[in-house]
Amino acid sequence: MNPAMTTTAFELDGYRIVKNFGVVRGIIVRSRSIFGTIGAGLQTLVGGNITILTDLCEKTRQHALELCVQHAQQVGANAIIGLRYDATEIMQGVTEVLCYGTAVQVEPKQ
């Protein structure tokens, strides 16, 4: 699926929805490694962006999006609308990241 065919909006400009497949999702559960925790702790001493955790969050969200796109493709969709992320701490240091949206089939407007 082309990344341009995913959006947080509920429509894609220039396309019309011809079929709705319902909600699709990608779920990742991640924990920080001991090395990441120590590195992040050291970065907090100097302040500013904690790049170790920023990188972990970005990679986790990207992986959740990839799984969501795979789920959409499995049901026959060529686009995802209403794309959202959610995160929940399951236990200390363990977080679930959920990427979800509505899988649709679209075609160009005439």
Number of domains the chain is built from: 1
DSSP per residue, 1-25:
--GGGB-SSSS-TTEEEEEEEEEEE
Residue 27: CATH number of its domain: 3.30.110.70
pTM comes to: 0.83
Q: Which residues pair with 103 in a beta bridge?
A: 22, 80
- For 54, the domain range is 3-108
Q: Which residues pair with 25 in a beta bridge?
A: 100
Q: Which of the four pLDDT bands, split at 50, 70 and 90, describes residue 41?
A: low
Separation of alpha carbons 35 and 102, rounded Å: 37
Q: In the chain, what percentage of residues exceed pLDDT 90?
A: 64
3-state secondary structure of 80: strand
3-state secondary structure of 58: helix
Q: Which of the four pLDDT bands, split at 50, 70 and 90, describes residue 53?
A: confident
